[in-house]
């Protein structure tokens, strides 16, 4: 479970990006985070994987308190949280296989397990046949599928995605959403910031709307609610 209690974030330049957020997300939920540009969505999401620290308040993820977590514990947290970015962030000199295996190699998982797990997630994202390709040899949608495979190879309980379809065409976007749905169906919590009105209004899930750093709407099967 994810819980934010009275969370505030002021950046060093004085910008108040998150202004008193209280929210609970249960294991297995699928949550969209929506709102205008500059509303604080990325900041909200970054605090969940400890990319940013809250200035005030508590952030609990599966019993771990991120607000008091020592920096040396952050790698342990990241093993329990998969992260997917708009720009994929794949390592350009590594193959698809190596990009995904990397997360397991750093925790010194045994080679047999690594191979099995990498092939399982490549199968899930339907990219087994491109295991030896470099990221530059893939389309944008394929790169995002690799990045999703990498995010789940550790079997995290939570996957956090910041605008994962922001650079993709509509058809590819739906393919990527099918993969997130599948991952969620297997029990993984998904928290996804998005500007994609069609997705939010079609694949109906919980919607948390943020404006000026505050939650202004929280609906179980919500709508996008903005013009885009
Ligand atoms: P969103 O993801 O909804 O567009 P952000 O969380 O990126 O919103 O930004 C919220 C506010 O915080 C904006 O005013 C933005 O300019 C500011 N902000 C974001 N990141 C930083 C940063 N690293 N330093 C200073 N201000 C920031
Ligand atoms: P998109 O239609 O999304 O722009 P591309 O035209 O870039 O996709 O790629 C179409 C297909 O060709 C993809 O399956 C991709 O993996 C493959 N491909 C693209 N560039 C290369 C390359 N340099 N070497 C091998 N395969 C490639």
Q: Which pLDDT tens digit goes with each residue over 70-117?
A: 999 888 888 899 999 999 999 999 999 999 999 899 888 999 999 999
**Measured from the CB, is residue 39 less than 6 Å from ligand 1?**
yes
Q: ipTM more than 0.90? A: no
Least confident of 71-75, 165-169, 207-211: 71-75
Per DSSP (E only), the strands in 41-166 are 56-61, 64-65, 81-85, 158-162
Which of 94, 160, 95, 97 is CA-nearest to residue 123? 97
- Taking each helix axis from N to C terminus, what angle separates 111-124 and 140-152, rounded to the nearest 10 degrees? 130
Which of 7, 29, 37 is CA-nearest to residue 210? 37
> Does the pLDDT at position 228 exceed 80?
no
Give residue 169's pLDDT: 96
Give the distance (Å) from ligand 1 centre to CA of residue 53: 13
Q: Which pLDDT tens digit goes with each residue over 47-71?
A: 999 999 999 999 999 888 998 899 9
- Cα–Cα distance, 24 to 7 (Å, whole number): 12
Give the distance (Å) from ligand 2 centre to CA of residue 194: 26
| CB-based pocket (< 6 A), ligand 2 | 137-142
Would you state the structure tokens that stand for residue 219, as one six-digit string?
A: 């609906």
Which residue's CA is the closest to the ligand 1 atom numbered 22?
11
Give residue 78's pLDDT: 86
Q: Residue-wise over 64-95: b if at least 16 C-beta within 10 A, else e?
A: eebbebeeeeeeebbebbbbbbbebebeeeeb
């Amino acid at each position: 479970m994810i819980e934010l209690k009275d969370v505030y974030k002021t950046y060093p330049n004085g910008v108040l990006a998150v202004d008193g957020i209280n929210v609970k997300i249960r294991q297995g939920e699928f949550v969209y985070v929506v709102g205008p540009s500059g509303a604080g969505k990325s900041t909200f999401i970054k605090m969940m994987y400890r990319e940013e620290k809250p200035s005030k308040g508590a952030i609990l993820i599966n019993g771990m308190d991120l607000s008091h977590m020592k920096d040396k514990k952050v790698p342990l947290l990241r093993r329990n949280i998969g992260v997917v970015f708009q720009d994929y962030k794949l390592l350009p000199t590594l193959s698809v296989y190596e990009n995904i295996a990397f997360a397991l190699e750093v925790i010194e998982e045994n080679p047999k397990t690594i191979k099995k797990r990498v092939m399982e997630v490549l199968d899930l994202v339907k990219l087994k046949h491109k295991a030896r390709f470099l990221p530059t040899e893939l389309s944008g949608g394929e790169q995002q599928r690799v990045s999703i495979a990498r995010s789940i190879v550790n079997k995290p309980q939570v996957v956090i995605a910041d605008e994962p379809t922001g650079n993709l065409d509509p058809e590819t976007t739906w393919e990527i959403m099918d993969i997130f749905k599948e991952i969620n169906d297997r029990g993984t919590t998904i928290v996804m910031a998005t500007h994609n009105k069609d997705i939010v209004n079609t694949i109906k899930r919980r919607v948390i709307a943020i404006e000026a750093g505050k939650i202004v709407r929280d609906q179980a099967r919500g709508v996008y609610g903005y013009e885009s």
